[in-house]
Structures are given as C-alpha cells and as structure tokens.
Structure 1
C-alpha cells in the first residue's frame, strides 16, 4: 500500500519545527514558555522539558531583562508584533548567547491574548562585526582621545572621588528627571484620553499604556533606591511619630487585593503605640513583601498580613503558603538582582526584597525570613523610636 502523503507531510513539518535553522518559542499571556523547538534548546543548553513554564525574561541577561520590562513587553502589547530585537540570553553554562528576535501575538476575535510566537536567530557574528567596526574606530582615534582626556583631567585637577561623585549625580539625575517627567506626561495624557469617548480597542490600548507607565515607574523607583543605597546617599528617611500607620497598611493591602482579585489577604493590626518612622518607606517595604507573597505563594491559600506594637517594638509580618524557599536561595534572598532559580519573580528586576531589607536597616530594624512546607514568613521588627545614622 502506498504511503499516505499527508502523513509524510505532517512528519516533515514536525521535523522542520524541531530542527529549523532558527529557534521557536511559544509564550502564554503571562510570558511563560509552553512550547520550544530542539534548535533553541541546543543553542541555550537547556532541555526542552526544563524550558517549560519558564518566563522568557528569566533566560535573559540583566540588561536584557530591563529592556524586556521597559520596552519589549509594552511595545509588543501595544502593536502586537516586534521585529529584529537584539537580546543576550544566558546559556546553561553561564555564557552569553547574542540573538535577534521577532515576536507576534495571537489574539481571539474579542482581542484577548491567546499566546505569543517568538522566532530566535543567532547574532554572534553580527555583533562581532559591529564590535570590530567600533574597535577600529576607537583604535584610530584612541591616541588623540586619550591625550585630550588626560589633559582635561590634569587641568581640572579631578580626583577619582570627584569623578565617581559626578557619575553618581548624573545617574540619579537621569532617573529622577529625564525619565520621570516623560512618564508623568504619558500618565496624564492617558488619563485624559480615558475621559474621552474611545472605541473599545483604543480604550484597551490606553489602559495597557497606563499599566506600562506604572510598571516602568516602579522599576525606576527600585533602581533609583538601589543607586542611592549603593552609590552614596543611602535611603533617605522622613521620621515622624505617626498614629496613623494602621490606615496606611490597610490601604496597601486593599490596593494589592484589588489588583489581584484571585488572591486573599487576611489582615490583623494591633498598633497601640506611636511609631517613629517614615510612613511612606514602611509602606513601600510592606508593598514589596506583599507583592513577593502574591508572586510566590499558593494562590488558593490566603496571605496573612499582621502588624502590632509590643514592648517598645513594632513588628510586621507577611506569611504565605506554598513551596518552601530552597536553602541556597535563602542565602542570597536579600541581594540585589537576585530572583531565585527555582521560582523566579513574575516581573521586575529582583530588587524588591533588597530594598525592603535596606528600608528595615535604615529604621534601625531587621527583616528576616523563615520558610518551611507549612509557610514562608517575612518578619520586620524595629524599635518604636529607632536610632538612625
């Protein structure tokens, strides 16, 4: 009996997908991989099975994750496709894999995102060619540029400390002004547009823009706090005796509850004494801890959020059920840009717990974590009237 040509054709298509001269990825609406081909698996040095359910952004370098959060993801949501986007993946053995990526969304008739297809092309030779061009130009102008730079430094009498201070100030100025002001304009403009009569599609796009603006603003806040903490000025506090800490904590819990309707947050507040603290910073710390619990916790079990004063100490705790934190991850949990290899953050750059820890230290307090099969609990303690530097 002759072979069914349709069967042969289907087998050929399957083989073409797996061994194509490019990588294929299919992503769920939350950015997690649900299908990949063998070509991409070989390039990155991670098995197809291990790639399942990983977030696309987890595979990228730090700069790649920043680009993904602030540019790639928002632009893809707004226009539905992207072409020739440069990324660096991190391979299984820790090396960089330069690539170019094309992405296209698939939506249903109602405009709901079903999945995103991503095609990956290796770009190491292209990057090397571009780098060679830059190196040749630098080599041609290097002697002249070096002489000018040395003369300028000598004439100005700049020390290494002054140069570092100037770099720090420029870095904070860019984040605090050059990025915040355009974001504020975008937020105000999108808010005004939502007050107009818009088509359903236009309203969806403007709403997506607002969400992207809020996410970028949060990323800027985290990086700005990291810069202040690591590059000199530390976490600025505005300490005041505050009897109204309960409403602040309640408001944060309610806002996060509204933003994640499938999650339950149980609160128990018993703050009976005045707390000498920076209310906004405490609120930021609590928001980071609750956001972490929402990301990592068992969605079917409530998050337990409590705060109280006793014996001259304020104690705030956030606990969630779910898979316990691995011991190797516990040792690095409060380090910047660490997101955990087993259960990576839903979004962001891995600064939330680091910033929460720094806020605790700035108040003369501590932030500790315990994790078991029963619960994972973050506990913050500080004296009611702390001694700060």
Structure 2
C-alpha cells in the first residue's frame, strides 16, 4: 500500500485551498494560493476573504455568494478576481461549501480556487477580435467616451439591482416572520433566527449600495428636511439601540440641542450609527465611546470619540473612500461603505465630517451651519 502524505497533498494541491470562519475570516490558506497570490500566509490569515477581492468582487461575494452559501450550504463555479501582492488581478473559478454541526450551526467555510487566467484571456481575446471585426480601430477619444459610458452604466446597474432586490427580500422577511409564529423545536428556532439575521444584513447592504450609487451618479444623498421635528430623541434612540446590540460596552451620550436644527433626522441618525459602530469596532473595549451633540450660535456639532490605537496616516487618507474597511472585526460585517456614506450625508447637509486621531483619542466631528442660507452660500 502506498503511504500518502495528506499534509503535502493539501499544501501543494493543484488548486488554492482556503478555510474561513463563519464570519468570513481566513483561518487557513494553503501554499499553492500563497504562491499564486504573492501574499504570505501571515498576511492573509485573520483577514476577511473579501479583503483580497476587487471592488466588484466584494459586492458580488458579500451580497450574493455569502448569503446564498449560508442558506443552501454550497455554491459552485463562480468567477472571482483575487488581488495579488503586486496589485495585479488573479482570475479564478471557485467552489465553496459550509461545514455545520449537528444542530445546523455553521463551523467553517471551505473554498477551492482554480486559476482561470488562460480561460478568461481566451474569452476576452474572442470578444476583442469580434469587436474589431465589426467596428475596426476606434480613436482614443471614442474609447475614452465608451469607458465613461460603461462606468455610468455600471453605477446605474448597481442602483437598479438594489431596488429590484428589495421586493423579494421583503417577501422573504414576511415569510420568516410567519414561520417564526409556528416554530416547535430549538433547531427550527435557530434556523429562523439565522434567516432573520441574514435578511437584516442584506437589507443594510442594499441600502449602502443604493446610497453609493446615488453618490457616484451625481444625485447625492437624498434628504427629507424637517425643521420642526426634535433631533435629540432620534439621536438618543440610535444610542439606545447600539447599547442593546453591544452589551458590556459603555456608550456615554451628552446632548445640548437647544435650538431647532433644519436637517434630515433619519439621515443624521444613520450617520451617528455608522460613527458609533466604527468606534465600537476599532476602539478600546475597556474605555467608553463618547457621543456629544450641541447647537451653537451659528452651527450644529456632533462628534463621536473613542480611546484605542491611533489610525495610521496611510489609512487616514482613505477613511472616507468607498469599500475601505481597514482592519474590520468579524463582529462588524459590511462592504466598507459606512464612513463614505456618513461623509456624503454631511456633504448633503452643507456640512463637513472630519477626523483626528492620537494615541489618546480618535474623534469624528460633524459640523453644519444652522442657517439654510449659509449652507447654500458656502458661509
């Protein structure tokens, strides 16, 4: 009988092999994939798998692959591009399975990845040859115009996709609520709870994608201004929700809103939720997150601060860019759009969102003029 070295078979398999935690963080990567990608195992383990994908790949994986994998347990032959250490794309075909315990609780996700560079190149060359045969050589100006149109069409597609996903997701949510009334076993209750969590997460991702598309298409964040509605109860409601969602963490809030604020309260609540969630994720767990809002003579100010490690300067330059996640914890999943959307909400109100970070404190500050005339005139 031939003696088999299973460790060598896995490490040097003719395909990349990855094991993820249920939250999507890489727990194991074989030598084949590290060799293909140029990343070391230490650079990849502990990071989210989606951190190594292209922008389009992150959207596809987070909004399509991950939810379906959670619901059906496997997903076969999906195309995805991994970003190599040198910044180049590594085109791959992947298969994924989710391993669960006897109660249906997810234990790990396993991915097998095969290089598809030659296959993709062949397909692209066929498309280019057909295009050249039809239209001939185009000028640089025409190509530039087409690239612009393609980019705009891509953004429109994202917006339409977000809208079209709402109706089936609402139906799923309604169905889950009906099923929740008839559960009889603990296992059924766990499955319903998992589906409810997945629906809520997908709804949040859809909202973020829609806000991204609006911002990129030039429409900006939509506001519903209400000068008469008190703002403090809205902000306090956000703080109370996050306190319930983060037991063991201290969130201190102080509000001195003594004048009416002409704003979209729901949007400012969304901004505050993003900022406090960011502070809970990256701040010191032993120190409180502090929320402060007040009206001054001519402006409204809202800030959130936390203790912990300072933000590196390289990250500071990218904080408000879409899809930038930094070293996000597994407890906060998403596409990396929170701070980008917060900055767009600030801009839509004629205000500004800034950040400062030292070894003692990291602080995000939003300021906006109270006078609508000052917002439009830029004063």
* TM value normalised by structure 2: 0.85
After superposition, where does 1:213-228 map in structure 2 within 5 Å? 213-228=199-214
Matched, 1:190 2:157: no
After superposition, where does 1:96-175 map in structure 2 within 5 Å? 96-135=89-128, 137-138=130-131, 142-143=134-135, 171=157, 174-175=160-161
Matched, 1:179 2:179: no
In structure 2, the partner of 1:156 is: none
One of 45, 48, 56 as aligned partner of 1:52: 45
Distance 1:112 1:169, change over 3 A: closer
Q: Alpha-carbon deviations, 1:302-342, whole Å to 9, x = none? A: 322222223343221111222211111112211223233x5
The answer to whether the 8 Å contact 1:28/1:34 transfers is yes
Bigger Rg over Cα: 1
The answer to whether the 8 Å contact 2:351/2:375 transfers is no
The answer to whether the 8 Å contact 1:60/1:87 transfers is yes
In structure 1, the partner of 2:345 is: 359
In structure 1, the partner of 2:253 is: 267
The answer to whether the 8 Å contact 1:58/1:344 transfers is no
**Which region of structure 1 is more displaced relative to structure 2, 94-103 or 118-127?**
118-127
CA shift at 1:191, angstroms? 1.9
1:171 and 1:40 mapped to 2: Cα distance? 32
CA shift at 1:196, angstroms? 2.6
The answer to whether the 8 Å contact 1:168/1:231 transfers is no
Matched, 1:65 2:95: no
One of 184, 193, 198 as aligned partner of 1:212: 198
* 3-state SS, counterpart of residue 227 of structure 2: strand
Any stretches of 5+ residues in structure 2 without a counterpart? Answer: none
Matched, 1:287 2:273: yes
Distance 1:15 1:29, change over 3 A: same
1:82 and 1:236 mapped to 2: Cα distance? 36
Any stretches of 5+ residues in structure 1 without a counterpart? Answer: 151-158
CA shift at 1:262, angstroms? 4.7
One of 81, 85, 91 as aligned partner of 2:78: 85
Q: Alpha-carbon deviations, 1:68-103, whole Å to 9, x = none? A: 111111111112222222211000000111112222
**Which region of structure 1 is more displaced relative to structure 2, 84-93 or 262-271?**
262-271
One of 275, 296, 299 as aligned partner of 1:310: 296
**Which region of structure 1 is more displaced relative to structure 2, 342-351 or 39-48?**
342-351
Q: Alpha-carbon deviations, 1:1-57, whole Å to 9, x = none? A: xxxx99x75xx2222222222222121222111222111111111111111211111
In structure 2, the partner of 1:251 is: 237
* 3-state SS, counterpart of residue 339 of structure 1: coil
* 3-state SS, counterpart of residue 262 of structure 2: strand
* 3-state SS, counterpart of residue 111 of structure 1: coil
One of 262, 270, 276 as aligned partner of 2:262: 276
The answer to whether the 8 Å contact 1:242/1:279 transfers is no
After superposition, where does 1:370-389 map in structure 2 within 5 Å? 370-386=356-372, 387-389=374-376
The answer to whether the 8 Å contact 1:23/1:39 transfers is yes
Number of residue equivalences: 366
2:254 and 2:262 mapped to 1: Cα distance? 20
* TM value normalised by structure 1: 0.83
* 3-state SS, counterpart of residue 309 of structure 2: coil
Distance 1:63 1:199, change over 3 A: farther
